[in-house]
Amino acid sequence: TKMLFNDSIMDRKKVIDIEDRGYQFGDGIYEVVGIYNGRAFLLDEHLERLQRSAKELKINIPYSVNRLKEQLLELVKINGLKEGVIYLQISRGVAERWHQFPVEEVAPVLVAYTKEEETLKEEEDNGATAILTQDIRWLRCDIKTLNLLPNVLGKQKATEKQAVEAIFHRGDIITEASASNVFIVKGSVLYTHPANHFILNGITRRKVIDLCNELDLDVREETYSVSDLLSADEVFITATKLDIVPIIRIDEVLIGEGIPGKYTTRILQAYRDIIRETSNE
């Protein structure tokens, strides 16, 4: 398959320098964009978030975002990708290894490639399990940076327990999960952690909030505790391409009746409808 390297679409090959700051420091940003039926879903939203991450870390996106968008769509087309994701990352660039930003103008390094990936249909329909673990990340989780070690360790712990996700708690507050946002349902109200520096403001999360508003569901961006989570009627997680997965057990605790709940099912249905509409346009 082909990859995007800076502004060129070329054969996928090894191109990264050993002094790339993304490689050495995790000094870079990324996005993962879902492709459904050959169509990029919410691409503008992802590119907007990329620009925000770039600004927060003072990384210059090497060319215009319009051009980048064209190149990403071209890459999907050339690779013939139908179901999967685009992975895009921009590192601060290649420079002699010192922690501070390089002094001279160093060009950021942009790479993107496509990856086949199916939606987790079985988990979406039947629910999945999660574990709880401490949120040991820094205080700028709102920036989508390459530094993902706490997320990696969390996901590994979940995998060892045959769970799909590790849900993070910072003290008594549930923040999000290792690679997804978390929603709970209590009675007829949905709660999800507010979009501040403790979480990544997921593109799927935002779409689900919009959807709840359209469906006239009461959704509140408020913090909730570990015991709120474990005693919730329903829990679900959201992320690109994973979409919406009901969580039916967390560690040894069954959530609700241990099956996907009615709010989750309704939201998932509506979300699938949006994807279907946008990918058939």
List of residues contacting ligand PMP (CB under 6 A): 32, 151, 176, 179-181, 200, 202-205, 238-240
| Residue 41 or 93 having the CB closest to ligand PMP | 41
Q: How far is the CB of 25 from ligand PMP (least distance, A)?
A: 19
- b/e burial code for range 233-247 (CB count within 10 A of at least 16 → b): bbbbbbbbbbbbbbb
Considering the complex, state which of residue 4 and residue 179 has its C-beta at the smaller distance from ligand PMP.
Answer: 179
Q: Which of 115, 144, 161, 262 is catalytic?
A: 144
Beta carbon nearer to ligand PMP, 153 or 259: 153
Q: Please, are residues 28 and 90 in contact by the beta-carbon 8 Å criterion?
A: yes
Q: For residue 197, which amino acid is it? A: H
Would you give the distance in Å from CA 132 to the centre of its chain?
A: 19
Token couple for 95 = 């420079």
Decide if 211 contacts 244 (C-beta within 8 A): no
Cβ of residue 32: shortest distance to ligand PMP, in angstroms? 6
State which residue, 129 or 240, has the beta carbon closest to ligand PMP: 240
Question: Taking the complex as a whole, how short is the minimal distance between the CB of residue 179 and ligand PMP, in angstroms?
Answer: 4
Residues 6+ apart with CB under 8 A from 143: 29, 52, 53, 56, 57
For residues 106 and 22, the answer to whether their CB atoms sit within 8 Å is no
144 tagged catalytic: yes
**244, 222 in Cβ contact below 8 A?**
no
Q: How far is the CB of 7 from ligand PMP (least distance, A)?
A: 25
Catalogue the active-site residues: 144
